[in-house]
Amino acid sequence: MELQFLGTGAGQPAKARNVSSLVLKLLNEIDQVWMFDCGEGTQRQILDTTIKPRKVRKIFITHLHGDHVLGLPGFLASRSFQASEEQTDLDIYGPVGIRSMVLNTLKLSGTRLPYRINFHEFDALSLGKILETDKFTVYAEKLDHTIFCVGYRVVQKDLEGTLDAEKLKAAGLPFGPLFGKVKNGQDVVLEDGTKIIAKDYISDPRKGKVLAILGDTRKCHASVRLALGADILVHESTYGRGDERLARNHGHSTNMQAAQVAKDASAKRLLMNHISARFLARDVRQLEADARGIFENSKVVWDLEEVEIWHRKNSGWLLLQGPRVA
């Protein structure tokens, strides 16, 4: 499981930051990529990654401000320029209005898609669990922005324990069909009468990962609820320390407020995005330093940056981050 940030800026494109979009790469888990928001220029950003558009199977929109959705028609159109055998259907989740926005744009531009789009619209009265598969559940909750906006909580279901093959071999079990039985939890008896108890050779189930990916918002209780115990919280930080009044007036948060949400939610890691173009590299270092005064594991992310999440024994998750790209 990996996160990659395609756009980390606020409001309008800047030289170092494009507008909002990120992807959750679930290639090892379900061979899919899930996109969250699709601001203008997102398809251009993808050209500098290894992402294959046909692998993007679900798109989650937080709200209908242009810097979060205006890249969607172009991406959908370009996604159709694939070999016919590579065409895959797509699900789009978002506020009421996303369906008409997409379909009207495609109609007016004469764009025909060779794949099906399934729309899943919601309003403030139809939030909660919006998606459940055999491996993941996604929840949405209303945030506090200038228009209807949501945050998403992505919960991976617990993972099955793994088979200790070396321990089984040492116990005298030959590799073959009996291995499969033990892996499926069945006890087996060897020719010499030795009984192999399956649970002694299978590790305990591993807790699935939890990610909270928020849209634009003022500091609010919903942000904390979405991020409770999350392994990663992605939170906007349009403004810096001392800008609380500006942030509230414009429906946004400061880095300090994002850090406080992470702390209140007992999240493990805070990744701050939606950064104003007025913050240069030295300012970003200060944003991080200030946030770490409240929540130590805080970081401002950059365009094209990747975050990998691995299981680690004893203490939860190990996060390996790619180099900053600006």
Please tell me whether residue 16 adopts helix, strand or coil conformation.
coil
Where do runs of H (alpha helix) occur along 31-159? 42-46, 66-69, 72-79, 98-108
Residue with tokens 């991080």: 288
Catalytic option among 67, 216, 231, 243: 67
Question: 216 and 236 in contact (C-beta within 8 Å)?
Answer: yes
Residue with tokens 């008896």: 189
Please tell me whether residue 284 adopts helix, strand or coil conformation.
helix
Number of alpha carbons in the 13 Å side-chain half-sphere of residue 65: 20
Quote the longest CA-to-CA distance of the chain. 77
Catalytic residue status for 48: no
CA distance 78 to 72: 10
CA distance 221 to 225: 6
Burial of 46 (0-12, 13-18, 19+ CB in 10 A): buried
Query: What residue type is 178 in one-letter code?
Result: L
Burial of 317 (0-12, 13-18, 19+ CB in 10 A): middle
For residue 133, give the DSSP letter.
-
Paired residues of 3 in beta bridges? 24, 307
Active site residues: 67
